Amino acid sequence: MKNISFFLLMLCASISFAQDASKTQNVILVTFDGYRWQEVFKGAEKKLISNKKLVKDVDALKKNYWSEDKLASREKITPFLWNTIAKQGSIIGERKCASKMQVTNIHRFSYPGYSEIFSGWGNRKINSNDYPDNPNHTIWDFLQADEKFKNKMVAVATWDAFPRIINTKRNGVPVYVNIKDSAGKCSSGNLIFEGWNEKCPASNGFILTDSLTYHFAKEYISKNHPRFAFIGFDETDHFGHEGQYDSYLHSANQLDGYMQDLWNYIQNDPQYKDNTTLIITCDHGRGHLGMKMWKHHGGLVFSSNKIWLAAIGAGIKNQGVLKNGHFYQKQIAATITKLFGKKFSEEKKIGKPIDAILN
């Protein structure tokens, strides 16, 4: 009898462990490059949205996104964030509530930021967007070494630095940029993308549009059902640098719409429904002083280390905006692996999981 109860106890313990570990089967991580915490939490900035040098049609833009009530303005720009994630998930970075999040790398621009997201620490040697293949061990390497994840991961991005940041040469994870994988082949058998690749106007000479990135990513995800997928958008940063506040807000609004569409898809797909976590964040912040600094970011740009994170789905607490706590970009890697029931690293320099948002 004693043995039987011990056996039952062990059985229950193993079942409850199995349930915990299997809550999150899949994670989709998305980044809005350089989208500021200020617009996320406070909506459009009055000085910027009213400035004719930054906005072609002030009245039209205000109609879309402006309100004296900051909560109404932010909801107009990113309705999915505020009507769905804020009600069913967790959001970090509302500095007014003392919920802070920041990067730890000293550089405050893209390659170092994405490297910190994927590797769990800010390597000061990674000091250029042209940096060669990432020397840091990342969650891509870590998960690829596990049979359960091998060949079940993907990255789709607008910016062509991602094959180096993820170091696809080392780990073999497919990284699609401009709808081509790192070997340069067209990656989808779907005819739609063959044509889009040439017909869609590029937003600048180096990148294609986030619209292509999103539609390709969704197509790939729905066909292949990866367990870990990354979608890297770029236009918010691009229009920020260009000083086009109207396009910057439109991009954020469009990306938010893609997230709504992706979440609808996830919750209607039998393989993803109720076992998938969606995490949205950014690689760095931007400045905020005066009319010019919002365009920039970098080691010398005050406040461009400040970021935000939103998460919804399996394993994520339903608590809305966190009211306090100080969090770091370097914690994202271990948070993702913890959702999968795996410990990323024992190393001291690696950020710990953000337990405050985990169930």
- Per CB under 5 A, residues contacting Zn ion are 34, 237
Q: Contact, 111 vs 126, CB < 8 A?
A: yes
Q: Pick between residue 34 and residue 226 the one whose CB is nearest to Zn ion.
A: 34
Instruction: Kindly provide the residue ranges of all beta strands, DSSP E only, lying in 17-86, ordered along the sequence.
Output: 26-32
CB of 161 to Zn ion, least distance (A): 11
Q: Pick between residue 34 and residue 43 the one whose CB is nearest to Zn ion.
A: 34
Q: Pick between residue 34 and residue 93 the one whose CB is nearest to Zn ion.
A: 34
- Distance, in Å, from the CA atom of 145 to the CA atom of 269, rounded to the nearest integer, reads 27
Q: Which is it for the CA torsion 18, 87, 230, 349, positive or negative?
A: negative
CB of 249 to Zn ion, least distance (A): 17
Task: Tell me the three state secondary structure of residue 186.
Answer: strand
Beta-carbon contacts of residue 208 (< 8 Å; ≥ 6 apart)? 158, 178, 179, 197, 200, 202
CB of 37 to Zn ion, least distance (A): 15
Q: Pick between residue 126 and residue 266 the one whose CB is nearest to Zn ion.
A: 126
Specify the DSSP class assigned to residue 204: S
Q: Pick between residue 181 and residue 234 the one whose CB is nearest to Zn ion.
A: 234
CB of 284 to Zn ion, least distance (A): 7
Tell me which residue has its CB nearest to Zn ion.
237
CB of 83 to Zn ion, least distance (A): 29
152 φ, ψ to 5°?
-125, 35
Q: Pick between residue 26 and residue 281 the one whose CB is nearest to Zn ion.
A: 281
Instruction: Kindly provide the residue ranges of all beta strands, DSSP E only, lying in the chain, ordered along the sequence.
Output: 26-32, 90-92, 99-102, 153-157, 175-177, 228-233, 276-281, 309-313, 320-321, 325-328
CB of 165 to Zn ion, least distance (A): 14
